[in-house]
Amino acid sequence: MNLADALDIHARARPSHPALIEGNQELTHAQFAHRVRRMAAWLHGQALPAGQPVGVCLRDTTQHVVALYAMARAGIAILPMDVRWTVQEQCNVASHFGACLVLIEPDMALLPGLRCMQPGESDEVGIVFASDAKAPFVLSLSSGTSGRPKGPLIEHRHFLARFRTHWINLGLNGRDRFICATPLYFGGGRTFAMSVLFSGGTLILKPPPCAPQDLITCVASEQATSLFLVPTQLRRLLALDDAALAPLQGLNLLFSSGAPLSPAERVAIRDRLCPRFFEYYASTEGGGISLLTPDDIATHGQTVGRPVFAVEVEVVDAQDRTLPPGETGLLRYRGPACATAYHCDSDASAEAFRQGWFYPGDLASLDADGFVTICGRQKDMIIRAGINIYPSDIEAALNAHPAVAESAVLGWPSRDFGEEIAAFVLLTAPCEPEALLAHVRALLPRPKWPRAVFVVSELPRNSGGKVLKRELSQRLTPPEL
């Protein structure tokens, strides 16, 4: 089915039920479905060339959500574009993927060489659109805006399979009042927002920037039942006292994805924020991979849980041979929600999609009970004097220091050793780098000792909260110099 077909079902079955809330503005399911059809008709009237995506460069508003479902209704592939990018970054992505149109805000600059328009709506709502589960839905960007972007072409059927995982494993459904507190450009924000509307629930927009206390007030005033946050947002909440956090205890579901949490953070979030906290390990290309439940945090808190419904996970060596439990290797997985290739990028597709499996580039291990432990990114693995070193081991040691809020460890080009180890840390209290080095040396063997620790005021991140180690590496010079 076309994902937008569900909107018509809800418009008939529960027309007055709130679909979308943004501040004082509210749309019922009947109103939302009608607006989606009006915008889909407007898109149809633009005589867009078949097979080319349309860029969505809009703020996190009701109109953005309407545009997402309108493009689904019209069978047009969405090219997500972040309003926070520079004009040059927006042009690069739109041109790279051949966008035939870019939807922009009234106060935004036109992108040179590209057709740009503000979203409109038409009264010709009687247009009949095809319902095709294999129609393209979104070119979900899986890399940053620098370098060569990669976009797996996700079809309607892939998204529907992801929605099933939300129902089966997370319990996210039509009874929810879900707060979207992450950008709609970001894969998690877009997917969970659309999932709730597909289910007939209520979507409440509370996008960033949003102070932690304002978010808590929204949870209480809107009687929210579910909330998705990235780790950065969760860490800001943990800085508040228990009295301020009390409204979060009533959530039916608090969950996180986008970047890893430490075992101690998982426990603190479950105990102080919400006892029904889940960590969802997922990728842009394949949707949900594994889930760590509140009960599992106590016994397997160092893992990202077990595979979700209908997903097969394996850990293999460089020759694609399955490794026994406990050994670290390349993670690969497959399932009905997973894309099969990158759009117009045969080289990247051949590397990541092989023999029906997707290789996200993560290093991991599987235990005998199926729990997945992520050891880091393959490209981030440090090879120092021929020894493979996983940054996550060193980051865990640094994060165990009471003065460290978060750390990022990466390879540092070295003439003598191939790579040395550099660590960047955010602090919660004053601490000298020498004390942090001594702390790590007491916990780890010599090959894993950082050459240096750099204290920073912030770590660069993408919209999903992941630390951009690429940007940190640009601050380093060879240690021998």
DSSP letters spanning 180-242 = E-S-SSSHHHHHHHHHHHHHT-EEEE-PSS--HHHHHHHHHHTT--EEEE-HHHHHHHHTS-H
Q: How far is CA 167 from CA 5, 46, 162, 245, in A?
A: 18, 36, 9, 27
DSSP letters spanning 24-47 = TEEEEHHHHHHHHHHHHHHHHTT-
Which 8-state DSSP code applies to residue 378?
G
The sign of the CA dihedral 89, 95, 98, 103 is positive
- Note the residue count of the chain: 481
**pLDDT of 148:** 65
Cβ–Cβ < 8 Å for 122, 41 = yes
CATH code of domain 5-311: 3.40.50.12780
Tokens standing for 212? 């932690």
Please list, residue by residue across 300-327, b when 16 or more beta carbons sit within 10 angstroms of its beta carbon and e when fewer do: bbebbbbbbbebebbbbeeeeeebeeee
Cβ–Cβ < 8 Å for 313, 325 = no
Q: Name residues of the chain where pLDDT drops below 50.
A: 143-146, 481
Strands 329-334 vs 312-316: parallel, antiparallel or unpaired: antiparallel
- Domain coordinates in residue numbering, the chain: 5-311, 381-473
**pLDDT of 480:** 55
Cβ–Cβ < 8 Å for 315, 304 = no
- pTM value? 0.88
Please choose, from the candidates 419, 379, 423, 374, the residue with its C-alpha nearest in 3D space to the C-alpha of residue 397. 423
**pLDDT of 146:** 42
Domain topology for 381-473: GMP Synthetase; Chain A, domain 3 (3.30.300)
**pLDDT of 140:** 86
**pLDDT of 145:** 38
